[in-house]
């Protein structure tokens, strides 16, 4: 038994030595294309190298440390066979310092030399003070006349004042230079944080009958990258088509710069489960034995802004991804850690994620300002910044392999001189391909990529709910909007050549007509007032009857007629002892189930119109109801 174990150990050792003795051909790859998902990216790369005959290992270095090993797919071009593919972290190789980092380092060195010169000057001034002190003692000699003593004292005072003033100025300059050095060092730390020292490498074990050239085309999924749909929506006037500039806000913290790559944008999410859900049994029981999941019945609809900082030192975190959970609406924090995001009607929770920090979810709860402190994720940091290979566990082959022998590599055609995009609808996703190459650094900064510009025929109507807001909102209605492959996202609104605000383009709507809110139009003035003469309260028998009346005044100060929809409401009784009777509603249409009154009116330029509505409520006199 002992001999068997000894033989097995020797076999394993010899196999390990044999594996480690395989010749390695190290090479660098070039990114050709990037498919960006709403969360994550698929990277397509190419590499070429010379290989020896027999077995060897091709090592492709300098890849993102956030590469997902299970997603690796390799296609080989050449006369050889792929035996294995895996990923390994390269902790021992450091990248050459980027040009921007080197420039900052040079600035720091210049400032440090300036400080050294200033300190040398301070030491010279200190020597001068020492000499003056010696002369001061000599000036106390009794052989000096009064005139000579005064002259010596004035000289000492003048020279010492000059020295002290210069010392003060030098200290101020040293302090300013030191502050500038700290800022530059923080900037370098931010760059290094996003540009981790460690990189990943793909190791491809091959077997070739003879030496020759080898080409590899491979792709993989990478984390810490993504895109958010953004829009600029412009309307020149209500007789012109609606212009939508479709953009992608791209961010990436993958640890590798993307240089002159072809971008493709997908509305898919490879990190989201593709398994169809099951409907569990619904067990009905008494309410006291039932657990209810709380939910926000009145989600906030507006804008949330704030600052994201590190919980460790309170420093702002640039490049943090801020996403409205369950939507494609998101943004990235700027260099000062600040963000601002528009919340859709169904938005309840914000998701904050950043490299090396724990993901945090925060309910909105009608707040317009949310500041976040992210805690470091020590497990994630250990996975990326561990030193050496000694403590790593060996991992099995998980990549996919595709082999093609004796084929010529097909490279993508050169990019077009102008921006062009192609929309491709796949079985489950829509992809937008941009032919112009882009360069995006791995620093988390937001990069806006123009995708497409549409001039879309639209019908315009103003809408107002004066009970909530006295302003009129311009609504553009687009028919057959599904052909444009839009996604739900934030939109900047421009009307009559002016910025009017931000809104949500609700491309997740199931309606045949897409309504796009173009913001407020101050040229339409609306006022809603309670009419006192209709506000009466009287007691009849055991019941109280109260009546209410309101008057809505609308004035059109624009130079053209406007179509305006005004919405108001009367209460709807849910108690048999409370009755509601509707009075005059000025030709409005009443939905008896909801109590909503709708007026569709056309107001000529410079004209004014008044609408009134009245209702009466009867209820028991020993009860109270709220009518205002």
pLDDT digits (tens, 9 = 90+) for 435-448: 889 899 887 778 88
Q: Indicate whether 423 pLDDT > 80.
A: no
The β-bridge partners of 505 are: 489
Stretch 127-140: mean pLDDT: 69
pLDDT tens digits for 11-34?
334 434 444 568 899 999 999 999
- 248 near 428, Cβ under 8 Å? no
pLDDT tens digits for 517-529?
888 888 899 999 9
Residue with tokens 């080409």: 215
Stretch 527-541: mean pLDDT: 90
pLDDT band at 495 (very low <50, low <70, confident <90, very high): confident
Stretch 48-52: mean pLDDT: 93
Q: Indicate whether 475 pLDDT > 80.
A: yes
Residue-level pLDDT at 386: 34
DSSP 183-229: HHHHHHHHHHHHS-S-EEEEEEEEEESS-EEEEEEEEEEESSEEEEE
Is residue 609 in a domain?
A: yes
Is residue 177 in a domain?
A: yes
First to last CA, the chain: 92
Stretch 300-326: mean pLDDT: 85
Query: What's the CA gap between 242 and 455, in Å, rounded?
Result: 6
Query: What's the CA gap between 321 and 408, in Å, rounded?
Result: 41
Q: Indicate whether 433 pLDDT > 80.
A: yes
- 30 near 437, Cβ under 8 Å? no
Query: What's the CA gap between 562 and 501, in Å, rounded?
Result: 21
Q: Indicate whether 183 pLDDT > 70.
A: yes
**Element housing 623 (H / E):** none
Q: Indicate whether 621 pLDDT > 80.
A: yes
Q: What are phi and psi of 413, to 5 degrees?
A: -65, 160
Is residue 578 in a domain?
A: yes
Is residue 22 in a domain?
A: no
Q: Indicate whether 100 pLDDT > 50.
A: yes
Is residue 1 in a domain?
A: no
Q: What are phi and psi of 518, to 5 degrees?
A: -100, 10
Residue 92's region, left for phi above 0, alpha for psi from -120 to 50, else beta, is alpha
**How far from chain centre, in Å, is Cα 326?**
14
Q: pTM for the whole thing?
A: 0.59
- The last residue of one of the domains, among 149, 176, 194, is 194
- The last residue of one of the domains, among 179, 194, 209, is 194
Burial class (CB in 10 A: 0-12, 13-18, 19+), 519: buried
- 46 near 215, Cβ under 8 Å? yes
Is residue 120 in a domain?
A: yes
pLDDT tens digits for 348-372?
899 999 888 899 999 988 788 899 9
Strand 513-521 to strand 579-582: parallel, antiparallel, or no bridges (unpaired)? unpaired
In the sheet where 360-363 sits, what is the strand order?
330-332, 321-324, 349-353, 360-363
Residue with tokens 């800022």: 183
**How far from chain centre, in Å, is Cα 213?**
42
Higher pLDDT, 224 or 294: 224
Domain count for the chain: 2
- The last residue of one of the domains, among 194, 224, 254, is 194
Residue-level pLDDT at 295: 46
CATH code where residue 162 lies? 1.10.287
pLDDT band at 626 (very low <50, low <70, confident <90, very high): confident
612: nearest Cα among 523, 521, 527: 527
Residue-level pLDDT at 516: 83
The β-bridge partners of 88 are: 201
Residue-level pLDDT at 258: 93
Distances in Å between the alpha carbon of 527 and those of 350, 445, 552? Answer: 36, 45, 6
Residue-level pLDDT at 4: 43
Task: Enter the tokens of residue 83.
Answer: 């035996």
Is residue 406 in a domain?
A: no
Highest-pLDDT range among 298-312, 416-430, 511-525: 511-525
Query: What's the CA gap between 190 and 443, in Å, rounded?
Result: 8
- 586 near 541, Cβ under 8 Å? no
Distances in Å between the alpha carbon of 625 and those of 225, 584, 616? Answer: 55, 22, 12
CB atoms within 10 A of CB 503: 19
- 301 near 344, Cβ under 8 Å? yes
- With pLDDT > 70 as the criterion, what percentage of the chain qualifies? 78
pLDDT tens digits for 169-179?
999 899 888 88
Is residue 567 in a domain?
A: yes
Range of the domain at 616: 526-620
464: nearest Cα among 555, 531, 345, 592: 555
Residue with tokens 């002190």: 133
Query: What's the CA gap between 121 and 113, in Å, rounded?
Result: 12
């Amino acid at each position: 038994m002992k001999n068997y174990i000894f033989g097995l150990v020797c076999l394993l050792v010899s196999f390990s030595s044999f594996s480690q003795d395989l010749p390695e051909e190290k090479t660098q790859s070039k990114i050709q294309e990037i498919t960006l998902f709403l969360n994550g990216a698929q990277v397509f790369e190419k590499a070429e190298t010379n290989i020896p005959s027999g077995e060897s290992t091709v090592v492709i270095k300098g890849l993102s440390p956030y590469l997902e090993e299970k997603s690796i797919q390799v296609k080989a071009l050449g006369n050889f066979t792929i035996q294995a593919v895996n990923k390994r972290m390269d902790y021992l190789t450091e990248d050459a310092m980027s040009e921007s980092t080197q420039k900052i380092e040079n600035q720091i060195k210049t400032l440090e030399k300036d400080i050294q010169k200033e300190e040398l000057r301070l030491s010279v001034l200190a020597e001068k003070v020492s000499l003056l002190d010696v002369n001061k003692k000599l000036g106390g000699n009794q052989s000096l006349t009064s005139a000579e003593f005064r002259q010596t004292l004035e000289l000492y005072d003048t020279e010492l004042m000059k020295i002290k003033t210069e010392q003060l100025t030098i200290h101020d300059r040293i302090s300013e230079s030191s502050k500038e050095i700290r800022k530059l060092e923080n900037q370098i730390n931010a760059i290094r944080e996003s540009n981790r020292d460690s990189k990943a490498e793909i190791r491809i074990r091959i077997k070739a009958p003879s030496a020759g050239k080898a080409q590899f085309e491979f792709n993989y999924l990478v984390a810490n990258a993504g895109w958010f749909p953004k829009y600029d929506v412009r309307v020149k006037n209500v007789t012109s088509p609606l212009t939508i500039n479709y953009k992608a806000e791209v961010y990436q913290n993958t640890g590798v710069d993307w240089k002159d790559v072809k971008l493709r944008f997908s509305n898919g999410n490879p990190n989201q489960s593709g398994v169809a859900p099951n409907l569990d049994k619904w067990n009905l029981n008494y309410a006291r034995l039932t657990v209810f999941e709380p939910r926000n019945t009145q989600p906030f609809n507006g804008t949330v802004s704030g600052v994201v900082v590190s919980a460790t030192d309170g420093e702002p975190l640039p490049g943090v991804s801020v996403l409205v959970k369950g939507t494609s609406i998101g943004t990235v924090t700027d260099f000062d850690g600040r963000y601002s995001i528009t919340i859709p009607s169904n938005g309840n929770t914000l998701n904050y994620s950043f490299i090396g920090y724990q993901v945090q979810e925060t309910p909105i709860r009608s707040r317009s300002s949310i500041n976040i402190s992210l805690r470091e994720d020590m497990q994630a940091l250990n996975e990326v910044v561990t030193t050496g290979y000694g403590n790593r566990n060996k991992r099995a082959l998980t990549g996919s392999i595709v082999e093609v022998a004796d084929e010529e590599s097909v490279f993508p055609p050169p990019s077009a001189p102008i921006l062009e995009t192609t929309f491709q609808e796949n079985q489950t996703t829509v992809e937008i391909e941009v032919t112009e190459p882009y360069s995006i650094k791995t620093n988390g900064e937001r990069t806006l990529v123009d995708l497409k510009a549409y001039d879309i025929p639209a019908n315009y109507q103003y809408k107002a709910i004066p009970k909530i807001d006295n302003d009129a909102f311009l609504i553009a209605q687009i028919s057959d909007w599904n052909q444009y492959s839009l996604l739900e996202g934030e939109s900047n609104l421009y009307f009559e050549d002016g910025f009017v605000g931000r809104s949500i383009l609700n491309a997740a709507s199931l309606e045949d007509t897409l309504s796009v809110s173009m913001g407020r139009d101050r040229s339409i003035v609306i006022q809603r007032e309670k009419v006192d003469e209709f506000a009466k309260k009287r007691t009849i028998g055991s019941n109280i009857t109260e009546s209410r009346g309101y008057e809505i005044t609308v004035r059109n100060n624009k130079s053209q007629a406007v179509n305006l929809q005004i919405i108001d409401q009367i209460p709807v009784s849910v108690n048999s002892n409370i009755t509601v009777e509707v009075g005059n509603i000025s030709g409005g249409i009443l939905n008896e189930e909801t109590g909503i009154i709708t007026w569709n009116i056309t107001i000529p330029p410079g004209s004014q119109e008044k609408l009134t509505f009245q209702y009466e409520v009867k209820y028991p006199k020993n009860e109270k109801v709220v009518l205002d």
